[in-house]
Amino acid sequence: MKYIAYCRKSTDEKDKQVLSIEAQIAELKEFAKREKLTVTEFITEAKTAKAPGREQFAEVLKKIEKGMANAILSWHPDRLARNSIDGGKIIYLLDTGKLLDLKFPSFWFESTPQGKFMLSIAFGQSKYYVDNLSENVKRGNRQKLRNGVWPSKAPYGYINNPKTRGIDIDEEKSKVVKQSFQLFADGNVSFTGISQFMFKFGIKREGEKPVKVGQVKNMLSNRFYLGILKYAGEYYQGSHKTFISKKLFDEVQKQVEKIERPRQKGHNFAFAGLATCGECGAAITAEQHIKKYKNGTDQTFIYYRCTKKLRPCTQKYVSEIELEPQIRKIVSDCGLHEDWEPYFEKWITQAEEKDKLVAGVEEIQLDGQIQESEVKLNRLLNGYLDQVIEPEIYKQKKNELFEEKLKLEEKKSQISKSGTVWLEPMREFVNCALQAQKVARAENNSHDLSIMGKKVGSNFFLNDRRLSATLDFPFAALSAEGGAASAAPNSDSISFLVTPLGLEPRFLG
């Protein structure tokens, strides 16, 4: 089949929805490439189609008559004809078999009686179709979304596949994106740092510029990377493959939150922002005093005190030298001696095996619930299509059901990934406790002590120079034994440590 591509835009068409001739050519070239059409030539015309008598259009018809081409490619039927005479000529050529095919990127035509009927309507009412063009695009988007396909530009690490119209993983760039997520999760790189990293490895925005900070932030919080599409306030289950794990994504969200939160003043003081005043509840602030000696040397002292901004308060200064051993004691009591590690490892492994059996049963239950919510969604869609349900109610209800289904699916994937959800925190606890013991034993590490303190506890109060904290379970249980776990295990410590932690003694020792 030989196609003549015909493009037209007249000066009296102010309508912005009508593409410029240049844009039509570009679209048609892309379309032809995609559909593998042989285009013999491009013919353009800058005249109105409302009245007959266009020279270039006549040229197209003449060439078809002569058999120099047997098909026409155009943006839309209204580019070809907007009056019944020109439209009639086209249909006549189709009827006589001189014209075998018409192709339009924005109009579906097939050479059947129905197709010709639709075409004649498109010629006669082309304005109607033009007006509906953007509506058609929206409708197309919705169809795509229902099929789980993102209808817009692919996010970083993905590419739009022009053949399937789907979204594929970009082999190279997805690796850069994944590394960006990992870098960011580690917590030492800013949004700008990620942008620079991506730039270095070929991910840029238009004009060879680094991706903007806001775009980096959006990328790092985009649930598209988990397979979820959010479009115009509605959720859809994506069909694209993912390369970022749920765990990594969640870690990144924690970092995003941390950066987004305004930085606390005086963060260079190790224990600033750790505690509040036990008497009045006001914030604790830090001050630095430099004492100069007559012999020319000086010494720096750091003090913490109540800001007394809420009401009068009798609390006095406390020096960092006094504060440090107190937080060290708290951290130390939450520590686990490294010799405990194999005991806990063994216990976790056995618990994991036991839970795999339980998880299997749970998965089957969840499958049932997921199916149930799918049935509900289908029923809802049918009600909507039958116009029994109002669009607004449909949208709201659909989002609800979708969220519910999403949660079930998330739960299921968590179960199949890690046996059960709770073993992971257990591992984290053991690792954290092992680390706490190391931090407590190290020297000159006020900042590390402060960070570790916040990991094991909360609600730090300073009252009469004494620091107190509420320890998170199971650190509270560990600490209740007076730091027994920070020593190597022996038969006594094993028996009194496992019970408060809720562990079964048979797994230990």
423 binds Zn ion (CB under 5 A): no
Pairing of strands 228-231, 38-45: unpaired
* DSSP 8-state assignment for residue 279: T
Name which of 130 and 282 has its Cβ closer to Zn ion. 282
Name which of 275 and 494 has its Cβ closer to Zn ion. 275
Pattern 116-155, Zn ion, x by CB under 5 A = ----------------------------------------
Angle between helices 391-418 and 246-260 (to 10 degrees): 110
Q: Nearest distance from residue 276's CB to Zn ion, in Å?
A: 8
Distances (CA, A) of 292 to 288, 299, 421: 13, 7, 57
Residue 275's SS3 state is: strand
283 binds Zn ion (CB under 5 A): no
Distance separating alpha carbons of residues 391 and 399, to the nearest angstrom:
12
Q: Nearest distance from residue 305's CB to Zn ion, in Å?
A: 8
Q: Nearest distance from residue 461's CB to Zn ion, in Å?
A: 10
306 binds Zn ion (CB under 5 A): yes
Q: Nearest distance from residue 306's CB to Zn ion, in Å?
A: 3
**Candidate ranges 86-94, 287-295, 311-319, 453-461; the one touching Zn ion (CB under 5 A):** 311-319
Q: Nearest distance from residue 331's CB to Zn ion, in Å?
A: 24
Name which of 280 and 434 has its Cβ closer to Zn ion. 280
Contacts 24+ apart (CB under 8 A), 250-253: 251/185, 252/181, 252/184, 252/185, 252/220, 252/221, 253/221
Among 78, 86, 279, 355, which residue interacts with Zn ion (rule: CB under 5 A)? 279
Contact 395/402 with Cβ under 8 angstroms? Answer: no
Among 118, 121, 183, 313, which residue interacts with Zn ion (rule: CB under 5 A)? 313
Pairing of strands 71-74, 298-306: unpaired
Burial degree of 416 (CB within 10 A; 0-12, 13-18, 19+): middle
Q: Nearest distance from residue 304's CB to Zn ion, in Å?
A: 11
Q: Nearest distance from residue 308's CB to Zn ion, in Å?
A: 5
Contacts 24+ apart (CB under 8 A), 406-411: 406/228, 406/235, 406/237, 408/366, 408/369, 408/370, 408/373, 409/370, 410/246, 411/366
189 binds Zn ion (CB under 5 A): no
* DSSP 8-state assignment for residue 455: H
Distances (CA, A) of 68 to 63, 101, 111, 290: 5, 14, 20, 94
318 binds Zn ion (CB under 5 A): no
Name which of 31 and 304 has its Cβ closer to Zn ion. 304
CA angle 218, 219, 220 (to 5 degrees): 95
Name which of 165 and 309 has its Cβ closer to Zn ion. 309
Total number of residues that touch Zn ion (CB under 5 A): 7
Binding residues for Zn ion restricted to 219-278, rule: CB under 5 A: 277
Q: Nearest distance from residue 405's CB to Zn ion, in Å?
A: 50
Among 32, 58, 280, 451, which residue interacts with Zn ion (rule: CB under 5 A)? 280
Q: Nearest distance from residue 266's CB to Zn ion, in Å?
A: 17
Q: CA 139: distance to chain centroid?
A: 24
Name which of 185 and 467 has its Cβ closer to Zn ion. 467
315 binds Zn ion (CB under 5 A): yes
Name which of 304 and 340 has its Cβ closer to Zn ion. 304
Distances (CA, A) of 102 to 45, 70, 140: 18, 9, 21
User: Contact positions toward Zn ion, by CB under 5 A?
Assistant: 277, 279-280, 282, 306, 313, 315
